[in-house]
Amino acid sequence: MISRRYILRIGGGLLAGLARPRLSLAGEPVEIRMQGNTDSSHVWFDPIGLRVEPGQTIRWINLDPGNSHTATAYHPKNFERPQRIPEGAEPWDSDYLLPNESFSVTLTVEGVYDFYCVPHEHAGMVGRIIVGQPGRSPAASVSAQAAGGEPLPEIALQAFPSIDEIMRRGVVRRT
């Protein structure tokens, strides 16, 4: 299995060291699976919504044998897309992951992070991670278009789980 580890240190390093991950044992990444059905008519992130503590490492892995996927943060640095991650947080883009390839980031800035799969955004393949408390984030409103850049397709906007649901359940799955 090929693994690319891309650690983002976004300030708050001391805080990151003290934080306890909510959804995994300390030091273990939380996994988000990239999946699809047999004829690629349906593709998705599992889970689609996730709440973690600052300093948590997230690992995306492509478990879809018939397709390539990306995990790409909504940010002007990524294809001039609207910013839907917290101010001061570094955007990421996994590039295309073939089956069984993976990619990791460590998120330390609190807030809401929205991401998408480049070839499948128009099929609604998006996800949302809340680090710590959601605060006042560009993505704080589920259905709102963030300013700047190419707007999100409606199917993507509607696919994000609400912040309330993620805060309440911790993990949101829609498979």
State the residues that interact with another protein by CB under 8 A.
36, 38-43, 65-68, 95-96, 98-99, 118-120, 122-123, 125
What is the C-alpha to C-alpha distance for residues 169 and 174, in angstroms, rounded to an integer?
A: 13
For residue 18, give every residue at least 6 positions away whose Cβ sits within 8 Å of its Cβ, in sequence order, or none.
Answer: 55
- Tell me whether residue 98 or residue 144 sits nearer to another protein (CB atom): 98
What is the C-alpha to C-alpha distance for residues 130 and 135, in angstroms, rounded to an integer?
A: 10
CB of 36 to another protein, least distance (A): 7
CB of 139 to another protein, least distance (A): 23
- Tell me whether residue 28 or residue 95 sits nearer to another protein (CB atom): 95
- Tell me whether residue 119 or residue 135 sits nearer to another protein (CB atom): 119
Do 170 and 161 touch, CB atoms closer than 8 A?
no
- Tell me whether residue 13 or residue 65 sits nearer to another protein (CB atom): 65
- Tell me whether residue 26 or residue 39 sits nearer to another protein (CB atom): 39
For residue 46, give every residue at least 6 positions away whose Cβ sits within 8 Å of its Cβ, in sequence order, or none.
Answer: 32, 33, 35, 173, 175
CB of 90 to another protein, least distance (A): 23
CB of 39 to another protein, least distance (A): 6
Q: Phi/psi zone of residue 27: left (φ > 0), alpha (ψ -120 to 50 degrees), beta? A: left
CB of 174 to another protein, least distance (A): 15
